[in-house]
Amino acid sequence: MAICHVLGFHRIRSSAGNPHGGSPLVASSAVAERSSILDGVRERFAASTDFTVGLEEEYQLLDPVTCGLVPRFNDLVDAAPADLAPHLAGELISSEIEYRTDAHPGFVDAARDLCEGRLAVAGLSAAQGVAIGITGCHPFSRWQAQQIIDTPHYQRVEDELGYIAWINNTWSQHLHVGIRDADRAIAICTAMRSVLPEILALSANSAVYEGRLTRLHSTRTSLFTRSFPRCGIPDPLRDFAEYEAFVHLLERTGSVVESTQIWWSIRPHHRFGTIEVRIADGQTEMVEALAVAALSLALVAQFAADYDAGVPLPEHAGRFIEENLWRAQKHGLEGRMIDLDRGDDRPTSDAIRALVERTAPVHEQLGLAPFITQIPVMLKNGNGAQRQIRAFQQGEDPAVTHARAVERTRQSVEEALELVGTVKSI
């Protein structure tokens, strides 16, 4: 086993032995396989196809005049046409709705699906007298006025978490990536932990909450990622057996009754046989949503290529990743990130440029290059959080700023579709 220690970081070539040490709390993998939550999961990963793509984004349901949140989820679902309804899902509160693409063989088709889905939800909403918008949190609607949707999952969440659930009025985007083999998926999830802060910093889009600047670029991170249990950056995991043992512990001790109660910012998805990247704030601008997703996919694919080539994957200690996560949450693109290999820090923009460079070998292969070229534009012109901060500091009413975000949520899709149209499906 080749191990290199820098800032508590080690790279592991072999899965022999247990680098984390034994624990009496963790059951053996043989016992873990009896978990009902884990039924068929290993088989789904064995049958998964590398780099299939699914995208999800969440929309605020808004009064078209005030841009305040309105509880219209059930109305939209009931009115949805047959081709749109299967793509819609609830997300905790009744003033929120999610669009989920199909699983696609490549990123370009998933990107087109997401663009068309946003337009379809906007059209459905408008017909019901509702506007949609996306920012990581709503800038002025109060959480006390929101209603939890009536589904078994979310009623369970409210019953268990109470206040923590009530204040989670947040909007994000998720990426699903097909990965063949459960052990390989866990290794890539462990590696992805180290780059989640850079993805968050790039995507930060929630700097205004309850009518004021929070002095955070991603307030959503405080409302959800740092408050929910089993959320944020997970521990490094050696292989799928170690993950199974942990899930079985949660199940047999009554901590969870379904896998979706594990809200980690990077997780293996039991139903789909995918890796799910869940760290990003929701994006107002569609080209920025696609840029964030494209970089995330590139990182997954590069780690998969390294794993297949026998190149050691990163397994940094959580305490160092957490420091970078705080920097991303607090400063977004305007801060500095610790280089976890070198032990010094650098501008966050440079850390993101390094990830773009590191993943360059997979950009053309996966059709990502045109989308990733938007990242330097974001680094130069600013992301959603920086636009919100500038507007607030110039004295603009948050309602006016949010009205513009609502307008851009729809208008920006046309620009993104032009970009998608220049790329051939892979």
pTM of the full structure: 0.91
Cα 28 to Cα 249: distance, rounded to the nearest angstrom: 10
Phi, psi of 364 (to 5 degrees): -70, -40
DSSP codes, 156-185: HHHHHHTHHHHT--B-BEEEEEE-SSHHHH
* 8 A C-beta contact, residue 279 and residue 224: no
Residue linked to tokens 């979706």: 260
Per-residue pLDDT of the chain (426 residues; tens, 9 = 90+): 232 333 333 333 333 333 344 444 544 444 444 568 999 999 999 999 999 999 999 999 999 999 999 999 999 999 999 999 999 999 999 999 999 999 999 999 999 999 999 999 999 999 999 999 999 999 999 999 999 998 888 999 999 999 999 999 999 999 999 999 999 999 999 999 999 999 999 999 999 999 999 999 999 999 999 999 999 999 999 999 999 999 999 999 999 999 999 999 999 999 999 999 999 999 999 999 999 999 999 999 999 999 999 999 999 999 999 999 999 999 999 999 999 999 999 999 999 999 999 999 999 999 999 999 999 999 999 999 999 999 999 999 999 999 999 999 999 999 999 999 888 776
- Nearest alpha carbon to residue 267 among 171, 179, 355: 179
* 8 A C-beta contact, residue 279 and residue 202: no
Domains and CATH numbers, the chain: 29-421 (3.30.590.20)
